[in-house]
Structure 1
Amino acid sequence: MKLAITGGSGFLGDAAIRAAQAAGHEAWSFDRAHGHDVLGDLGALTGADTVIHLAGMLGTSELFDAPEAAVHANVIGTLRVLRWCQDHSAGYVGISMPPVFPSVYTATKVCATRLATAWHTAYGLPVSHVRAFNAYGPGQKWGPGHPQKILPTFARAAWEGRPLPVWGDGEQTMDLVHADDVGRMLIDAAQHGDDVTFDGGTGVAVSVNELAQSVLDITGSTAGVEHLPMRAGERPTRIVAEGDGWDRLDWKPEFSWARVVSAVEWYRSPA
């Protein structure tokens, strides 16, 4: 297959390109880092059998400061990619998330997923979805200008001897899934097109407090945690993949503390 990956220079985009190449597919990045924008000229998608659409604005509390830009990037951008796929007889794979947070980002992703389903239903466009849970791994961006993702936020705080910021009581749970597994699932999803959703999670619930303690143990930090009020767009949740779409695969993502340790170690250096 020939796969164009929007947002291909990002954290999950890079994982998807690696997975595509490992599976013997031709894949290339369509990314603002290379001068391409889903709100601009889509010519660099030309030749793709399937577009894996990952480009967009990320953030939970952050997007309340830029809701119009988020709607344009995440909704209008998706609509433009869907129309391109329709016009060029290409398949579409979109990335979604568990719709649990009352956030701008969640609203835009729900809308984007519904648009993809609408194009599948109305025009027969081959569509698949990957519902990504709490993806982590080496290389996930952190710091000013980037959304505060939990593992890099915890890891950098621990390595720097600062208390780990825990929003809320920390009893909320996550489904931690390695980026390489999400990338592989995105490529596998391109083999389908009947509006199926694949759960990009492991089915294992890990609490925020449990992860925080593990990061403290891995780093040897004695700084502890600092409980803070939950941010805008968040609420206490228990998130875990239920296994949608796994019956179509000969594998499933597996949770591994060893992979968590490796990712935390990656953040030892501030570079």
Structure 2
Amino acid sequence: MTLIVTGAAGFIGSCVVRQLVAETDELVVSVDALTYAGNPLSLGDAQASPKHRFEHADIRDQPRMQAIFEQYQPRAILHLAAESHVDRSIHGPAEFVSTNVVGTLTLLQVALDYWRGLPEPRRSQFRFQHISTDEVFGSLSATDPAFEETTAYQPNSPYSASKAGSDHLVRAWHHTYGLPTLMTNCSNNYGPYHFPEKLIPLMILNALDGKPLPVYGDGQNVRDWLYVEDHARALRLVLEKGRPGETYNVGGAAERKNIEVVDTLCNILDELHPQSGPHHRLITYVTDRPGHDRRYAINFTKLESELGWRPQENFETGLRKTVQWYLDNPEWVQSVRSGEYRNWLEMNYAGRTQAA
């Protein structure tokens, strides 16, 4: 029994791989192109396990992906490979369309050909699981109800538009060709091994370095925060018990304004690492991101009622675990602080003026 995980050296993908290797007896095949955000060190102890294989491959390379499917004969693929940073998508949208849309199309074609050739009962048991985002649904006002699986798509950034395109392809491959697909749309993830361009790890590492904590606009933008280990557990549950053709929302039941997230981080850092504090003095309001969505919120009632999932971590416990992990793992942090990452921070933040 074999599972393929794409984007396996990324933040969420590596968490899924670590859980699968630690808690199941299946062979897990990690596929990753190892672009700037992919780091094999994020696979942790799974790297050395006999239950794990790593394939350095790009999901857009159809012959290579066909060869991987043929070699390993998976019972399912968990597709997490994606370009995922909104700011990067604003600066360079073409790469997002190429990876997220064309890459997903390539995988769907490869999986469809493979699935059609499977004998029963393997054919009816195969699953193509596509992991997406709540950002495809657009922006909510302060009083709007949370996103449901039936919420109309209204993506507002190049990133979310590319993910919406990939979602539509997955849906079409199920309805047109019968490919047994599963899809999830999650809220903002946080936790260990998070690449430090996203809000929480960026704030932690900047605070430890005594650098400004850049908060976009007025800091009132709201996100629903999901601890990555909870998300990985949800994905595994959907894979085993979800109904083919269905979509399941995965949320953390933890809506927070961005400034509230940063304030909480500062309080935790003041306690756990007081030598670099007080940390609130570093908060700096900067020019907002273009088209910045105001609020996201996830209704995961379907996942809870059908499959019995709820997050195990609340925001405060998960955030404390996250801060402690970054304090305990400076080697990993150093490994991802490549020249490209530093160049990106310079490009994205250096030109932003301090807000009045």
> TM-score, normalised on structure 1?
0.91
* Secondary structure class of the residue paired with 2:293: coil
Q: Provide the rounded CA distance (Å) in 2 between the counterparts of 1:92 and 1:52.
A: 7
Q: Is the 8 A contact 1:170 1:207 kept in 2?
A: yes
Give the match for residue 144 of structure 2. Answer: none
Specify the structure having the higher radius of gyration (Cα).
2
Equivalent of residue 59 in structure 2, options 38, 41, 44: 38
Deviates more, 1:188-197 or 1:171-180: 188-197
Q: Is the 8 A contact 1:196 1:245 kept in 2?
A: no
* Secondary structure class of the residue paired with 2:167: helix
Residue by residue over 1:71-101, the C-alpha shift from the partner in whole angstroms, topping out at 9 and shown as x without a partner, is 1111011011111111111421111111226
Equivalent of residue 106 in structure 1, options 160, 163, 184: 160
Q: Is the 8 A contact 2:128 2:179 kept in 1?
A: yes
Deviates more, 1:224-233 or 1:115-124: 224-233
Q: Provide the rounded CA distance (Å) in 2 between the counterparts of 1:18 and 1:126.
A: 25
* Secondary structure class of the residue paired with 2:86: coil
Deviates more, 1:96-105 or 1:233-242: 233-242
- Any stretches of 5+ residues in structure 2 without a counterpart? 35-54, 116-125, 139-154, 271-276, 335-356
Could you tell me how far 1:233 is from its partner in structure 2?
Answer: 4.4
Give the match for residue 198 of structure 1. Answer: 248
Q: Is the 8 A contact 1:133 1:175 kept in 2?
A: yes
1:97 maps to 2:151: no
- Any residues of structure 2 matched to 1:12-27 within 5 Å, and which? 12-21=12-21, 22-27=23-28
Q: Provide the rounded CA distance (Å) in 2 between the counterparts of 1:217 and 1:158.
A: 11
Residue by residue over 1:99-147, the C-alpha shift from the partner in whole angstroms, topping out at 9 and shown as x without a partner, is 22611110010010111000111111111112121111111111xxxxx
Could you tell me how far 1:242 is from its partner in structure 2?
Answer: 4.2
Q: Is the 8 A contact 1:71 1:108 kept in 2?
A: yes
Q: Provide the rounded CA distance (Å) in 2 between the counterparts of 1:238 and 1:172.
A: 9
Residues 1:242 and 1:83: Cα distance change in structure 2 (over 3 Å): same
Q: Is the 8 A contact 1:7 1:54 kept in 2?
A: yes
Q: Provide the rounded CA distance (Å) in 2 between the counterparts of 1:133 and 1:70.
A: 19
Letter in 2 for 1:28: V
Letter in 1 for 2:69: L
Give the match for residue 41 of structure 2. Answer: none
Q: Provide the rounded CA distance (Å) in 2 between the counterparts of 1:138 and 1:74.
A: 24
Q: Is the 8 A contact 1:167 1:227 kept in 2?
A: yes
Residue by residue over 1:182-234, the C-alpha shift from the partner in whole angstroms, topping out at 9 and shown as x without a partner, is 11222222223422222221222112111111111111233241111221342
The percent of aligned pairs where both chains have the same amino acid is 26
Give the match for residue 8 of structure 2. Answer: 8
Structure ranking higher on relative contact order (CA contacts 8 Å, 6+ apart): 1
* Secondary structure class of the residue paired with 2:249: strand
Give the match for residue 325 of structure 2. Answer: 266
> TM-score, normalised on structure 2?
0.70
Give the match for residue 178 of structure 1. Answer: 227
Equivalent of residue 169 in structure 2, options 115, 131, 135: 115
Give the match for residue 353 of structure 2. Answer: none
Deviates more, 1:10-19 or 1:108-117: 10-19
State how many pairs are aligned. 266
Q: Provide the rounded CA distance (Å) in 2 between the counterparts of 1:267 and 1:97.
A: 25
Could you tell me how far 1:246 is from its partner in structure 2?
Answer: 2.2
Relative to total residues, which structure has the larger helix share, 1 or 2?
2
Q: Provide the rounded CA distance (Å) in 2 between the counterparts of 1:9 and 1:252.
A: 26
Q: Is the 8 A contact 2:249 2:298 kept in 1?
A: no
- Any stretches of 5+ residues in structure 1 without a counterpart? 143-147
Q: Is the 8 A contact 2:234 2:309 kept in 1?
A: no
Residue by residue over 1:158-200, the C-alpha shift from the partner in whole angstroms, topping out at 9 and shown as x without a partner, is 2222332111211222111111111122222222342222222
Q: Provide the rounded CA distance (Å) in 2 between the counterparts of 1:188 and 1:240.
A: 18
Q: Provide the rounded CA distance (Å) in 2 between the counterparts of 1:233 and 1:24.
A: 45
Q: Is the 8 A contact 2:9 2:30 kept in 1?
A: yes
Q: Is the 8 A contact 1:93 1:127 kept in 2?
A: yes
Could you tell me how far 1:19 is from its partner in structure 2?
Answer: 2.7
* Secondary structure class of the residue paired with 2:18: helix
1:243 maps to 2:301: yes
Deviates more, 1:228-237 or 1:9-18: 228-237
Deviates more, 1:152-161 or 1:239-248: 239-248
Q: Provide the rounded CA distance (Å) in 1 between the counterparts of 2:254 and 2:204.
A: 21
- Any residues of structure 2 matched to 1:7-86 within 5 Å, and which? 7-21=7-21, 22-33=23-34, 34-40=55-61, 41-42=64-65, 43-46=67-70, 47-86=73-112
Give the match for residue 230 of structure 1. Answer: 288
